[in-house]
């Protein structure tokens, strides 16, 4: 925590001496919030001047690529200008060298308007990956970015470090607010406001984290769509789509699997509604270093078996699970697949994730069925019969691949 006595504009020494130790700490955290917000707002503006504008003008990157890197940077600046302006006005109203009485109300009001951070943080990893690719592939771009970062205002930090700052700032708000709240007595008029502000800050962090997870999931599903060939199905398998009763499809796990008897190498992709077993089709000149989900990979996968839907599976460990080989069994309708994972830990991951997804699918399917039964009770016998058929249709739908 920075001391409240360190910079100009803070309370006079004799005024600080009159404050209780708790209030002194409280003022220190308020001071930290204001000073770090000033510094952060300056960093946002620096990025626009030092990196964003020159990259748009240099023609080394396309407009689309520059947009991928900076996303909605201007919106972030607008968010923080509003917050900083409110903090400055409050500081001025308190008196230049007087303690700040209230801060929680400003934060409670401003934090809900920081939704642009969800979008930026969700896309930040893609932007960082693009910068890495471009600097790896083009010495010209690498040198250009290096020259831009030599501006003394950057203090030796590259663009990639500045692009991490929004996420770092969002995660810092709950910490500063929590510290301020802990040093604010319950009888203080700011206490209830700070409590509300902490809830808003934590909610923003949760929304940002969820946005990052959703974007990563969507990117992986799109990667699978581009790299997995699913020929011979009655309808196209759209990976990045809505399932029939679980909401958006989620990727859960992937990895090498081997058929126990033949040792045939497979590659499994597990989603929240089905397991897809594939075979790797290695291209000519394949080096063996290609990684799954890498944008540079040349690997392709071919569907080995039609999707194994998780509302019809039973996963079992062998009768002696302590054996040397990490085997497990998947019973699907009238077939049993005996598979070997790459390790005991991998087997545990596969078994636990398949079981959990299967349970969720069964639970949500039953809830949907119960809702159907409940709504049909008030209808005529004919309508109930039709509703029963409709529910039967719903069950069949859970086996379809996309909506």
For 18-54, the pLDDT digits (tens) are 888 899 999 999 999 999 999 999 999 999 999 999 9
- Distances, alpha carbon 230 to alpha carbons 199, 305, 306, in Å: 46, 9, 8
Confidence at residue 386, expressed as pLDDT on a 0 to 100 scale:
44
Cα(148)–Cα(48) distance, integer angstroms: 12
Residue 139 CB coordination number (10 Å):
9
For the chain, give me the number of helices (H) and strands (E)? Answer: 13, 9
- The mean pLDDT of 378-386, rounded to a whole number, is 45
Query: Which of 304, 303, 301 minimizes the C-alpha distance to 292?
Result: 301
- Distances, alpha carbon 152 to alpha carbons 51, 117, 118, 148, in Å: 13, 27, 30, 10
Confidence at residue 246, expressed as pLDDT on a 0 to 100 scale:
79
Query: Which of 266, 191, 201 minimizes the C-alpha distance to 228?
Result: 266
8 Å CB contact between 336 and 314: no
Confidence at residue 403, expressed as pLDDT on a 0 to 100 scale:
35
Radius of gyration of the chain (CA): 28
Cα(220)–Cα(238) distance, integer angstroms: 13
Which one of 83-97, 185-199, 308-322 scores highest in mean pLDDT?
185-199
Share of the chain above pLDDT 70, in %: 83
Query: Tokens in use for 313?
Result: 């599976």
Query: Which of 128, 51, 34, 25 minimizes the C-alpha distance to 88?
Result: 34
- Distances, alpha carbon 307 to alpha carbons 261, 311, 367, 392, in Å: 21, 12, 24, 21
pLDDT band at 396 (very low <50, low <70, confident <90, very high): very low
HSE-CB for 101 with a 13 A CA cutoff: 7
Confidence at residue 286, expressed as pLDDT on a 0 to 100 scale:
59
Least confident of 64-78, 132-146, 187-201, 232-246: 232-246
Residue 134 CB coordination number (10 Å):
18
Residue predicted with more confidence, 214 or 319: 214
CA trace torsion 355, 361, 366, 368 (10° rounding): 170
Residue predicted with more confidence, 181 or 400: 181
- Distances, alpha carbon 99 to alpha carbons 1, 26, 39, 287, in Å: 17, 10, 21, 65
Cα(66)–Cα(354) distance, integer angstroms: 40
- The mean pLDDT of 316-335, rounded to a whole number, is 86
175 Ramachandran zone, left/alpha/beta (phi>0; psi -120 to 50): alpha
pLDDT band at 390 (very low <50, low <70, confident <90, very high): very low
Confidence at residue 15, expressed as pLDDT on a 0 to 100 scale:
64
Mean model confidence pLDDT for the chain: 86
pLDDT band at 6 (very low <50, low <70, confident <90, very high): very low
């Amino acid at each position: 925590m920075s001391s409240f006595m360190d910079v100009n504009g803070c309370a006079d020494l004799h005024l600080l001496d009159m404050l209780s130790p708790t209030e002194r700490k409280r003022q220190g955290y308020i001071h930290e919030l204001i000073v770090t917000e000033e510094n952060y707002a300056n960093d946002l503006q620096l990025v626009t001047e030092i990196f964003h504008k020159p990259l748009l003008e240099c023609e080394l990157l396309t407009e689309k690529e520059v947009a991928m890197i900076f996303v909605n940077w201007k919106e972030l600046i607008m968010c923080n200008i509003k917050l900083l302006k409110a903090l400055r006005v409050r500081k001025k109203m308190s008196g230049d060298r007087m303690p700040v009485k209230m801060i929680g109300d400003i934060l409670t009001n401003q934090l809900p308007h920081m939704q642009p951070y969800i979008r930026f943080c969700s896309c930040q990893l893609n932007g960082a990956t693009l910068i890495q690719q471009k600097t790896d592939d083009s010495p010209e771009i690498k040198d250009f970015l290096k020259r831009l970062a030599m501006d003394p205002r950057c203090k030796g930090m590259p663009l990639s470090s500045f692009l991490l700052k929004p996420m770092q700032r969002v995660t810092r708000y709950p910490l500063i607010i929590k510290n301020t709240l802990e040093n604010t007595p319950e009888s203080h008029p700011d206490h209830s406001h700070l409590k509300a502000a902490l809830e808003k800050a934590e909610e923003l962090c949760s929304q940002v984290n969820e946005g990052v997870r959703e974007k990563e999931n969507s990117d992986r599903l799109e990667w699978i769509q581009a790299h997995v060939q699913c020929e011979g199905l009655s309808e196209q398998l759209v990976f990045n789509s809505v399932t029939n009763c679980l909401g958006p499809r989620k990727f859960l796990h992937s990895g090498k699997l081997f058929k126990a008897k033949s040792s045939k190498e497979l590659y499994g992709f597990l989603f929240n509604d089905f397991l897809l077993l594939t075979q790797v089709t290695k291209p000519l000149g394949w080096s063996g270093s290609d990684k799954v989900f890498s944008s540079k990979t040349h690997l392709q996968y071919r569907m080995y078996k039609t999707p194994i839907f998780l509302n019809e599976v039973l996963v079992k460990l062998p009768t002696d699970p302590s054996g040397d080989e990490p085997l497990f069994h998947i019973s699907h309708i009238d077939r049993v697949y005996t598979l070997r994972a790459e390790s005991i830990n991998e087997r545990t991951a596969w078994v636990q994730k398949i079981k959990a997804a299967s349970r969720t699918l069964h639970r949500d399917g039953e809830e949907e069925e119960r809702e159907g039964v409940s709504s049909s009770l008030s209808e005529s016998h004919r309508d109930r019969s039709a509703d029963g058929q409709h529910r039967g249709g719903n069950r069949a739908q859970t086996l379809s691949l996309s909506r």
